Each structure stands twice: as structure tokens, then as C-alpha cells.
Structure 1
Amino acid sequence: MMRRVAVGTVAVSMALTMAACGKAGDDKKKDAAASGDSKSIGLLLPENASSTRYESFDKPFIEAKVKELCADCKVEYNNAEGSAAKQKQQFDTLIAQGVKVIILDAFDAKSTQAWVAEAAKKNVKVIAYDRLATGPVSAYVSFDNEKVGELQGQALVDALGAKAADANVVMINGDEADPNAGKFKSGAHKVLDGKVKKVVYEQSGEWKPTVAGQKVGAAISQLGKDGFQAVYSANDGMAAAIITQLKSQGINVPVGGQDAGLDAIQRLVSGDQAYTIYKAYKPLADSAAQLAVNLLQGKDIKSVATSTIDSDTDKGIPAQLLEPKVVTKANIKDTVVADKLYTVADICTADYAAACATAGLK
């Protein structure tokens, strides 16, 4: 009887000890989530299908700058792969992990208001990166996106030259859920309207090359092969598909894009694409990283975010807006090569060697 009592007492004691340990472990997890992961910065980028820039430039540049500014900080990275629902899940996971600063390039900027508001209630700071997310974001870093559209429109006019005044233009815009797309479109129209004969066909390509190619195919069917003299494409990924579609129909007209991807620079060299817009990713990424580290460490951000901007939901958001540049075949050396975005060897592979020689790229 005494042995049973002793064993029972030990069993109860062990159970209580395990329960206490479990409770302590749970309390530690709760405390960690409550206090936040003071050394982690969340980075959420929107997609990787229509542009290679996010994986090739934005992510590594941000990671490197964060490491430079805060040696023991780490970046928790996720890509939404073109899904607003997936990005919301990634956002929620970061908050659940206790991350206190999130750099967010929203796939659907109009859908973020409730997320960002909920994050703010939990003292999570959100930096809107590249696209101005709705909701009470702590800062915004991007380019002057209406100016990007103006540069695109003027570059297309310049590519048309003396033919511009009599030219009909097809416009393939970005995704309507992206506020930047609206700015690009508005800026481009500001230049094109009055300088070309008419925008005869205008559709959203949704930032999807396949959709852009289909829309241009529909434009050809509707207008005929001679019904337009140039195509405005909101980015390079769509421009690539548009050029392929035009070539398949034997149509050779100026097409421009945006993002200065390596393949786009090569299309400039070969003459397939008229221009692209170069937005220097390193200064953009560096600014986002500096803002994130400052917010994480409770420091002032006014030295980085030197201006303000209004979103659809909030006023006076601290912002830094950088200057974009037009790139054509004539100034590749003075822009993307000079900034060491690409080397001449990167651009002038075997397929482009002859075109590079003609363009003076050596």
C-alpha cells in the first residue's frame, strides 16, 4: 500500500512539474510575442512573374543594408507571388511572430487598410515600399510615380519623332488595384494627350505578360496592323510579351516599358524595345532599410523621409520620393552601367555581341 502511495505521489508530482514547465514555456512564447522580436524586420514583396527586380535587386539590397546598419538584425522575407490573400496571410504571420516593423510592397494596395490598422493597434510599424498601401503606414518610400508616367509618355513621343502628331497609340496599363499603375497612366496621358493623334485602344494588362500579349492581340484584330503606330506598356515584363505578339504579326512599332530589367536593356540594344524607365533600386532599398532600422530602434525618421504624401485613407505620411530616369540605347552606358546595375559583359552576351558593337557598348 505504501509503495502505491509513493508511486502515486511521484506521478502527481511529475505531472504537476510537466504542467508547470508547459505553462512556463507558453508564458515565454506569449511574452516574446508581446514584447516583439526586436531584431527582426519583415519584408513582403508582391510578385515575381512580371518583373525580376524584386528577387534580383530589392530583396538582396534591403537585406544587405539592414545587416550593415544592424549587425544582429535579420530580415524575415516572403513573396506574395501575385496573391493578395497570400500576402495577407504572410503579414498576419509576421505579426504573430512578434515582428515590430514590416516593409510592405502591397500586391493590392487598396486591400491593406484593415491589415495596417490592426497592426498599428499592436504597435507594429509598416513602411509602404514602392506602392502606397492604404491604412496608417508609418512611412513611404518610392519614386515620383506620376513623373515615371510622364517620362514614359515623352520617351514614346521621342521614339516616334516627326511621326508623333499623326500617331495612334495603344496603351497597356498596369493592374488597376495598384495605385502606382494609376499614377503611371495619369502621367503618360498628361504627355501623350495633345502630342499624339489619339490613344485608340487602352486596357489593363494586370501586370501579367500573358494578359498584355492577349490585349495587344485584341488591339490588332480591332484596329488592323496599320491602325496604330506605337504601344505604351506600363512595365518591361508586359512589353516583352507585347513585342513578341507584334513580331508574330509582322508589326514593327516603338514599344516602351519600365523597370530596366536586364532582358529589357538587351531589347534596347537589339532595337526591339524603344526605352525603359530606370528606377535605381539600391537607393530605394537603402532608404527602406534605414527607415526600418530607425523605427525598430525608436529613432527619428525625418532625416530619411524628408517630405510627406497623402494616401486614400491617411494624410501627411512621412515619405521619400526618388527620381526616375529614361534609358534608351544611347544612354545605357551613362545610366545602368555607370551605376553598376549591370556590366557590359552582363548585357553583351553572344546573342547581343554584334548589336552591342554597333551601339558602342564595349
Structure 2
Amino acid sequence: MKRYRVLAAAGLIALSTTVTACGSGAGASGGGSDAKIAFLMPDIASTRYELFDAPLFTAKMKELCSGCEVLYQNAAADPAKQQQQANSMLAQGVKAIVIDPVDSAAAASIVQAAQGQGVPVIAYDRPIPDKKADYYVSFDNEKIGKLIAQSLVDQLKAIKATGGILQVNGSPTDAAAGLIKKGIHSAVDPSGLKLLAEFDTPGWAPPKAQEWVSGQITRFPNQIAGVVAANDGTGGATIAAFKAAGAKLPPVTGNDAELAALQRVISGDQYNTISKPIKIVADAAATIAYEFAKGNKPAGKTTLFDTPSELFTPTVVTRDNIAKVLREPGFAVKISDVCTAEYKAACTRLGLNS
């Protein structure tokens, strides 16, 4: 956890705008080879944006083009700040905006402003339902919700657990969170297990999730058989609430395969998470943005919210398959980072030797 906090703190340094010049690559002689591409991420509550999304997107753009610039900013969970950042990017003459919106509804005005200036918008990870973006790239969020919930339901039935389920959803202003919530319900509602209560976590903020779960532990003493948490931040907060209350820790889900969550899965504190190799989405978004910058209009492989889209399939991670997942090519987190001294014995038991 100390290493996790250090990494997260390191990510804070990257909050100011960074401009990266792209090196030589396949697109050096094509149109758009001197384009500026905006990459706008939503928050620092999840460490992934600073540690993985931004550097991976920039690396792919470097591979694709020569003379390009990636203009990166993080809105720190402030939709007004993200609007200002987008306006700044448009003023700097970007040829495409890749955006993971803080607030999916508020981001509609960013799409309208950009398209009004002929600048295409690629929604990244979170969709923008109220105003059609030019493209949407993500893992399938509804499927994520269904997978984590079904995994939990199957486990609770296997161990013949008694009691009901808590559901800790993501932010009510995030359309992706709404899709995850829909997916969770598609597994929980027909399961025969009682849904005790659910909560939409403002801004995905772990402290808000922990506060709510703490109240439910008091409200439903010895009745909580499992908790479906929509991401690793809310999952970690749920686990912290149970530990603080001195209550028996039930199986808890997550999503994002963050370093701390992988360690919790290994130790047995967290039941599952979701592997979404960020490189897959970052590479796809960079490729699509570059095509738009060259004046092309990439075709979607599917549509969502009437937007041409590409949706990738994620993988549920539990103790049963974590050794395999961590060894998959391109997985962002190294085994040596996960299996620190505190987790060495648990890693060895699971066959995780770096």
C-alpha cells in the first residue's frame, strides 16, 4: 500500500499540461503528421490515468506519427475545469479531442463546441449520451457490470452464503457507471439473492462509498453476504469499512485491476476485479484520433448511443486466474510490483514468482 500511495503521488505531478513531440513513424509522410491531439482525462481518484492511460496513448501516437503533439491534461474531477481545458485545446488548434468525461452530461457542451469548429471528439472509456461524439472507444461497461456481479453471485451460491447483497455503484454523472450499474442488475436481479440496498457514489469518491457502507453494516448486522462494488476504489473503500467496523469481511468485487486491488485479491480481501488492458483502449484511441487528424472518418465496429464505437471484452480476475492474467503480454502491472514483501508468501502460494 505504501508503494501504491507513492505511485499515486507521482501521478499528481503530471496534472499540469504536458506536451509530447512524436517521433518518426508510419504516418510521417501522411496528412496530419504535424497535428496536435488533445487527451483529456477525468480524475486522479483512480491512479490509472496518470500511470498508464496518458503514457500509453502518448507512446502510440509517437509510433504513429512524426511532428505530432499530444496535449494532456487531467481535470481532477472538476467538470468546469475540464470544459476550460477543452476550450484551451481548441484555442491551440488541436485536430482531435480524446476525452474521458468527468460528467457525461456536461461533456455534451464540449462536443458541441469542438464539432462547431470542425474538431472531431473521441469519447474514451466513458460515453457522452446527450451529444453524439464522433467515436467511442472503451471496454464494454455493461458487460463489466454483469461479469463482476455474476462472478460474485456464483461464489455466494457455491459457498451457500446466507443474507443479501449490497451494491455500490459509480458516479451518477458518469454514463459508463450507469452501464456498469445496468450490467450488475442483470446478474443480481434474477439471482434469487436479496438486494439489501444500493448507492450511487458521487464522483466515484472512495470516502463517500466507505461512509455509506459503514452505515449499511450497522443497518444490516450479520446480513451482508457480499458486496458488488463498481470499481476498485469503491471496492477498497468497502473493505476498509468492514475492517473498521470489526465485521466479518464478505466477498467484495472491483474493476480496473489497480495495483492495490490486485494485492487485495492475492491476500483474499477482495474477491474479484476486472482486467482491462489499458494499452488496448489507448492504442485504439490514438489510432482513431490520428485517422481523424488526417481527415479520414473511421467506421465503428458497433454503435452505442448512436455513436460509432469499438467495445472490447474484459476479463474477470480472481485468485483462481490471477497468476495467468499477470503474465499476459502487455499487462500494465508487473508481478514484481504486486508481489512486494508483504504479499510474497501469498504470491508464492498462488504460483506468482516474478
Say whether 1:306 aligns with 2:297.
no
Superimposed CA distance per residue, residues 66-99 of structure 1 (whole angstroms, 9 cap, x where no aligned partner): 1100121110000010110110010111111111
Please state if 1:325 is matched with 2:309: no
Unpaired segments ≥5 residues, structure 1? 1-35
CA RMSD of aligned residues (A): 1.6
In structure 2, what residue type is equivalent to 1:342? V
Asked if 2 retains the 8 angstrom alpha-carbon contact of 1:142 and 1:284, the reply is: yes
Q: Answer whether contact 1:157 1:164 (CA < 8 A) is retained.
A: no
2:3 aligns with none
Q: Are residues 213 and 76 of structure 1, via their aligned partners in 2, closer, same or farther at CA, if it must alter by over 3 Å? A: same
Give the AA of the match of 2:284.
S
Cα deviation digits, residues 260-299 of structure 1 (max 9, x gap):
0011111011000000011121110000000100000112
How far, CA to CA, are the matches of 1:121 and 1:321 in structure 2?
A: 27
List 4+ stretches of structure 1 deviating above 6 A: none
**What is aligned with 2:134?**
138
Check the 8 A contact 2:262/2:338 in 1, yes or no. yes
Question: Equivalent residue of 1:41, what SS?
Answer: strand
Whole-angstrom CA distance in 2 between matches of 1:174 and 1:181: 5
Within the candidate set 84, 88, 91, 2:86 is matched to 91
Q: What pairs with 1:229-244 in structure 2 (closer than 5 Å)?
A: 229-244=225-240
Hey, what's the Cα distance between the residues in 2 that align with 1:198 and 1:286? 41
| Greater helix proportion | 1
Q: Which amino acid aligns with 1:348?
A: C
Which runs of structure 2 are paired with 1:273-284 in the superposition (5 Å)? 273-284=270-281
- Aligned partner (choices 178, 186, 191) of residue 187 of structure 2: 191
Residue 344 of structure 2 aligns to a residue in which SS? helix
Could you say if the C-alpha distance between residues 341 and 196 of structure 1 is closer, same or farther in structure 2, counting changes exceeding 3 Å? farther
Answer whether contact 2:37 2:95 (CA < 8 A) is retained: yes
Q: Structure 1 length as normaliser, TM-score?
A: 0.84
- What do the CA deviations read for 1:24-44 (whole angstroms, capped 9, x no partner)? xxxxxxxxxxxx995210010
Partner of 2:121: 126
What residue number does 2:57 align with? 62
What TM-score, normalized to structure 2?
0.86
Query: Could you tell me which residue of structure 2 aligns to residue 16 of structure 1?
Result: none
1:165, CA displacement in angstroms?
7.1
Q: 1:46 to 1:37 in 2, by over 3 A?
A: farther
The farther-off stretch of 292-301 and 79-88 is 292-301
Question: 1:113: how far off?
Answer: 1.8
Structure 2 residue corresponding to 1:215, chosen from 212, 219, 226: 212
Shift of 1:201: 1.2
Code of the aligned partner of 2:324? D
What amino acid does structure 1 have at the position aligned with 2:241? Q
Distance in 2 between residues matched to 1:230 and 1:143, nearest whole Å: 25
Question: How many residues matched?
Answer: 318
CA contact (8 A) 2:166 2:227 kept: yes
Q: Percentage identity across aligned positions?
A: 41
SS of residue paired to 1:329: coil
1:47 partner amino acid: D
